């Protein structure tokens, strides 16, 4: 039985609130330890979020190692990952770089983050596929019948 819209909306709302809090905490830690400023923090959460969503989607689809319900998939993918990543802030930061007369730097930043996000998604997908259950092997009788 499919989940109701209210249940799905609630799952997305709860997931996105946890994702947004996690993004804030991650960015705060990155800036506190001095690894980088706002641009590095935004890039990090977007790249990490791409890895997380691809890994989770792969692990929990119908043929994945841990098939999950629509509600839990929406909680994590639309909710948590949607709240954790921030394409809108990346757009604003890039726009501000360009406004500051650094168009090449802005283009390099957004291109780099998108490229790294795609690589991270590919890595999450590949890792998730490693956990897929292998198809059942043939029995000795089936092998003998083939010869």
Binding residues: 82, 85
C-alpha R_g of the chain: 20
CA end-to-end span of the chain:
45
d(CA 142, CA 147): 9
Binding-site annotation: residue ranges for Na(+):
82, 85
Cβ burial 16-36 (10 Å sphere, 16+ → b, else e): bebbbebbeebbeebeeeeee
* Nearest residue to 28 (alpha-carbon basis) of 16, 39, 41: 41
Exposure string of 98-109, with b = 16+ CB inside 10 Å and e = fewer, is beeeeeeebeeb
């Amino acid at each position: 039985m499919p989940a109701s819209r209210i249940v799905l909306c609630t799952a997305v709302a709860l997931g996105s609130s946890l994702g947004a809090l996690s993004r804030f905490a991650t960015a705060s830690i990155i800036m506190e330890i001095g690894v980088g400023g706002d641009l590095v923090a935004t890039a990090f959460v977007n790249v990490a979020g791409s890895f997380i969503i691809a890994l989770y989607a792969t692990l929990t689809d119908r043929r994945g190692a841990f098939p999950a319900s629509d509600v839990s998939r929406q909680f994590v993918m639309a909710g948590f990952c949607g709240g954790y990543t921030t394409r809108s802030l990346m757009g604003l930061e890039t726009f501000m770089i360009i406004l500051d007369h650094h168009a090449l730097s802005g283009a390099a930043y957004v291109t780099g983050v998108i490229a790294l996000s795609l690589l991270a998604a590919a890595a999450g997908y590949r890792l998730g596929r490693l956990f897929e259950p292998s198809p059942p092997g043939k029995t000795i009788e089936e092998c003998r019948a083939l010869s």
